[in-house]
């Protein structure tokens, strides 16, 4: 009996307070000197101690490395020779992590106290969950929700939940099932994610979390959102993200133009692309007009050329993705709402509502043909 008790005590001790065993944290950094310290400190301050913190340094040219060398000598730094994008950096960090459960955090995220504990608790309470995201709010306006997960819009987009809405108007259940998790902060099962193909490195950045979430969900995996776990999201990736009155970056137009079609090629059934095609093309036409208005038509065109160069590779990946499918497109896709950034919608609110209405209308017609 004594030997059995010692064995049980050792098993509980090895699991630690997370209930998931020891946890690795991976921070992806590019040009993040201004907010990297706050990110790491917030991870270190969690009531559940992570066993290791790995920073994947994506060839920054600012003072990030100096900060890490002087203030965080207990942090493992993986230096990339060149910036191969967030997807590659996340995959490198996951594979370098010692443990199966990985807390994956972008460098402009600050975790409020108790976030890791709630994420662990939610996963332990939901059998089969392979990934969980907290609720994120704007760091400069914590009363408003930034990313709250979302659904798969049939036009190849994320239909975001509660985007830009006051937190008081969107309490939700403590834990909810979602289809799309936003990759700025995730607690994930490394084995399951790698088995599903990990982040697609051909995306570089943008649409990568939509693509990964879709691959997991069509394979029948469960993804969670934990509403009472909150993180603060700062300025985003330079040259990609935008806030308030900032112009829409041409580089983001390029990635949107390319990656949206890479995602649909891999994750949608061919029949879905055919019957939903008119709505998909209506959105594409609207995106062309938006790119033209912003002076980024060249970026849109280069994105399409880049997509064609990757098309054969996308078809190869598609075969692997579709073999794992156990959930049909009709059960995964939605027709709205169309989510636009407030600073885009405000300049063309009527046009945005019209576009949303057209897309919803076509989905109402064609949804019953989708399988």
- Give 224's strand partners: 132, 177
Cβ(258)–Cβ(202) below 8 Å = no
Distance, CA of 298 to CA of 250 (rounded, Å):
9
Residue with tokens 């985007």: 163
What are φ and ψ of residue 315, in 5° steps? -65, -40
The pLDDT assigned to 10 comes to: 38
Query: 247: which DSSP letter?
Result: P
Instruction: Tell me whether the omega of the peptide bond preceding residue 225 falls within 30 degrees of 0, making it cis.
Output: no
The pLDDT assigned to 247 comes to: 74
Select from 191, 210, 235 the least CA-distant residue to 34: 235
Q: What are the pLDDT digits (tens) for 84-129?
A: 999 999 999 999 999 999 999 999 999 999 999 999 999 999 999 9
Query: 286: which DSSP letter?
Result: H
Tokens for 363, please give them.
């989905």
Helix (H, G, I), strand (E, B) or coil at 320: helix
- pLDDT category at 15 given cuts 50, 70, 90 is very low
Query: 202: which DSSP letter?
Result: G
Distance, CA of 287 to CA of 254 (rounded, Å):
11
Tokens for 86, please give them.
């967030």
Q: What are the pLDDT digits (tens) for 337-350?
A: 999 866 555 556 78
CATH architecture label of 2-233? Alpha-Beta Complex (3.90)
Q: What are the pLDDT digits (tens) for 237-256?
A: 666 766 555 678 999 999 99
- Find the mean pLDDT for residues 336-363: 83
Distance, CA of 139 to CA of 301 (rounded, Å):
34
- pLDDT category at 14 given cuts 50, 70, 90 is very low
Select from 234, 271, 200 the least CA-distant residue to 109: 234
Task: Select the more confidently predicted residue: 10 or 263.
Answer: 263
The pLDDT assigned to 245 comes to: 54
Average pLDDT, the chain: 92
Cβ(335)–Cβ(360) below 8 Å = yes
**Domain residue ranges of the chain, discontinuous segments joined by +:** 2-233, 250-369
Distance, CA of 88 to CA of 56 (rounded, Å):
10
Residue 9 has pLDDT above 60, yes or no: no
């Amino acid at each position: 009996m004594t030997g059995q008790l010692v064995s049980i005590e050792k098993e509980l001790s090895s699991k630690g307070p997370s209930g998931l065993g020891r946890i690795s944290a991976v921070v992806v950094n590019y040009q993040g000197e201004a907010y990297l310290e706050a990110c790491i400190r917030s991870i270190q301050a969690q009531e559940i101690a992570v066993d290791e913190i790995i920073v994947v340094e994506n060839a920054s040219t600012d003072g990030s490395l100096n900060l890490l060398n002087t203030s965080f000598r207990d942090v493992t730094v993986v230096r990339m020779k060149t910036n191969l994008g967030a997807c590659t950096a996340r995959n490198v960090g996951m594979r370098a992590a010692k443990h199966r459960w990985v807390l994956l955090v972008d460098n402009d995220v600050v975790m409020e106290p108790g976030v890791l504990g709630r994420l662990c608790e939610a996963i332990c309470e939901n059998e089969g969950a392979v990934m969980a995201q907290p609720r994120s709010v704007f760091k400069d306006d914590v009363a408003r929700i930034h990313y709250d997960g979302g659904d798969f819009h049939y036009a190849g987009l994320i239909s975001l939940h509660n985007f830009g809405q006051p937190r008081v108007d969107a309490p939700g259940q403590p834990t909810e099932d979602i289809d799309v998790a936003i990759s700025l902060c995730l607690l994930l099962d490394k084995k399951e994610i790698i088995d599903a193909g990990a982040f697609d490195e051909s995306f570089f950045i943008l649409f990568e979390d939509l693509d990964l979430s879709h691959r997991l969900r069509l394979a029948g995996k469960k993804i969670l959102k934990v509403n009472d776990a909150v993180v603060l999201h700062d300025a985003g990736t330079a040259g990609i993200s935008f806030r308030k009155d900032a112009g829409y970056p041409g580089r983001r137009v390029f990635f949107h133009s390319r990656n949206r079609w890479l995602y649909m090629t891999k994750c949608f059934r061919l029949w879905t692309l055919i019957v939903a095609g008119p709505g998909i093309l209506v959105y594409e036409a609207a995106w062309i007009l938006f790119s033209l208005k912003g002076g980024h038509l060249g970026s849109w065109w280069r994105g399409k050329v880049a997509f064609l160069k990757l098309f054969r590779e996308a078809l190869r990946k598609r075969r692997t993705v579709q073999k794992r499918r156990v959930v049909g497109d009709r059960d995964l896709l939605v027709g709205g709402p169309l989510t636009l950034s407030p600073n885009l919608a405000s300049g063309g609110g009527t046009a945005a509502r019209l576009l949303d209405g057209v897309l919803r209308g076509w989905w109402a017609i064609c949804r019953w043909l989708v399988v």
